[in-house]
Amino acid sequence: MESHEARCLWTRCLTACLAAVLSLAWAGEAGAGLISATGTAELVQGGDYAGWYKYTYDLTWDLKKGLSHWDLLLKPGCTQPDHQIVFETALGGASDGLSTGDGWKPSKPVVFTVSYEGMFEPQGDPSINLTAPLIKWEPDETYDEPGKKGTGQFWFYANILPEYGTFDDVLAAKYGRSKIFGDLDGAYPSCQIIPEPATLVLLGLGGVGIVLTRRRG
């Protein structure tokens, strides 16, 4: 009886230890690597998107496997119908991003050999279990593919006002079957759309009225 109980106890201990080892191994794999970006937002002065913003992101990564694709997670408000995000490839452009390829190393000159297609995904990215709205950049691997380490520049147009700061875990990269999150510095879509010109005029008149009222007081 005692021998049977001892064997059961030993089995339970062994199972618990094995589960702990696997959990640590998974956590190490999920947390391995690095992805980060700096963002800018430039007000478009002319053309079809005059008055909109061109968002540009300079991305770097260092992963255990080659980059499969990467996402920029957005606020839920960006799914509203009046929020518009446009990509150059959808308009017949060459790409929505460029990066170094599989053979690139940090010691080498930066040469972009991989092009990307951007897309707005309001339902998230099921391939890495993300449900938040996001922008996804998928590489075109016709001539080259992203490597384990790399750097690139990515862009899109939007009628969305930018906000600025440091935004934690709004970047997600898929590599192999793993994913990793990273931080963004700089411009990030606020999900507040650019006011119409008439609205701007009203806001301006309101501001003038407030100033005049204060002066009279």
Q: What is the pLDDT of residues 26-57, one digit of tens each?
A: 333 444 689 999 999 999 999 989 999 999 99
pLDDT in tens, 138-181: 999 999 999 999 999 999 999 999 999 999 999 999 999 999 99
Could you give the percent of the chain with pLDDT greater than 70?
A: 76
For residue 202, being part of any structural domain is answered with: no
CA dist 66 and 213 (Å) reads 62
Residue with structure tokens 């990273």? 182
Between 202 and 151, name the one with better pLDDT. Answer: 151
For residue 6, what are its two tokens? Answer: 């001892």
| Mean local confidence (pLDDT), 5-9 | 46
Residues in Cβ contact with 117 at an 8 Å cutoff, skipping those fewer than 6 apart? 87, 89, 95, 96, 137, 138, 140
Residue 110 lies in domain:
32-197
> How does residue 3 score in pLDDT terms, banded at 50, 70 and 90?
low
Lowest-confidence range among 6-15, 101-110, 122-131, 151-160?
A: 6-15
Phi, psi of 9 (to 5 degrees): -65, -45
For residue 21, being part of any structural domain is answered with: no
| CATH number of residue 39's parent domain | 2.60.40
For residue 121, being part of any structural domain is answered with: yes
For residue 204, being part of any structural domain is answered with: no
For residue 59, being part of any structural domain is answered with: yes
For residue 111, being part of any structural domain is answered with: yes
Three-class DSSP labels, 57-86: EEEEEECCCCCCEEEEECCHHHHCCCCCEE
CA dist 215 and 201 (Å) reads 21
For residue 19, being part of any structural domain is answered with: no
**Pairing relationship of beta strands 178-193 and 34-43 according to DSSP bridges:** parallel
For residue 190, being part of any structural domain is answered with: yes
Number of domains in the chain: 1
